[in-house]
Amino acid sequence: MNRNPSVAVVGATGAVGVELIKTLGKRNFPVSKLALLASARSVGRKLKFRNQEIAVDELTKDSFKGIDIALFSAGGGISKEFAPLAAKAGCVVIDNSSAFRMDDSVPLVIPEINAADARLHKGIIANPNCTTAITLVALFPLHEAFSVERIFAASYQAVSGTGAKAIQELERQIGQIVSGRPVTKEVYPHQIAFNVLPQVDSFLPDGYTKEEMKMQNEGRKIMHHPAFRASVTCVRVPVYRAHSVAVSAEFKQPVSVDAARAVLSKAPGLDVVDDLEKKEYPMPLYTAEKYNCQVGRIRKDCALDNGLCFWVSGDQLLKGAALNAVQIAEELLK
């Protein structure tokens, strides 16, 4: 890999694309040239990278000549069509969609957990689901110490996980409610303002949603733990940014709160925020735009053997997407 790679961001004008550009700049990623790619309707729009304005070009099958790393964040359909073409052109693709995550030939990587898997790529590396990534940053160090068997979890997912239109919908609905006007909805099946929706993604025949099953399926692959089980309820909440997850985990080995806290306080990418006297615990308001996730409310689970409860919060546009992708790119340069 070139020490100063040329980089393309696919889906550059979307919520994650914008964060990818910011993150490359903030982390001083050694980009020799940055290409911004999107659909025809975004062509000519200018986005700022470091101190320059870069015009957006149209994504075509010939966009990847001379590109070393392509960061994809334009949805599964675009990834399925263009990622193999990019890989064929000699480019390493880091894909944010769900298109390749469960493909056996594609590594699924959270650098704090399984960085070495990134080197096994055949041209494409997958970024995990945002809720999975935020949860595993806290769960994996505990698994290494105490061997997790299963978790029960509920997520509290911000609207920005759905995209820019969902943020606008929440803002619009709050305005409509405050001024006594009828509420209009386009993005979600129900009003999201002052409400919570126990549905993220589409339903499967067994009654779980696709999003809920990602925790178990992706968790098994990332942690190299084929017996891991996760029963999850994913909930959309009227929060702009940063997802939170309430987790009850059951381990093979006995686990004490002190031992768990000692493990979590050393874990990379994670801050322990857990001072009950000062009412300090992780909240999306304070994890938004932060690289690290936060964990707190650490306590013995009173309904499980060898059980531990914790609450983790993290920016799903960063650790759940853009930051994780850039960290993978950093691994490739090592």
- Residue numbers annotated as active site: 130, 243
> Token digits for 290?
């932060």
> Token digits for 37?
């790619």
From the CA atom positions of the chain, what is the Rg in Å? 20
- Give the sign of the dihedral formed by CA 67, CA 68, CA 69, CA 72: positive
Nearest to 327 by CA among 117, 150, 181: 117
* DSSP H stretches of helix in the chain: 15-26, 76-88, 111-114, 130-146, 164-178, 210-223, 257-266, 284-287, 323-333
Nearest to 156 by CA among 189, 128, 130: 130
What is the CB neighbour count within 10 angstroms for residue 168? 13
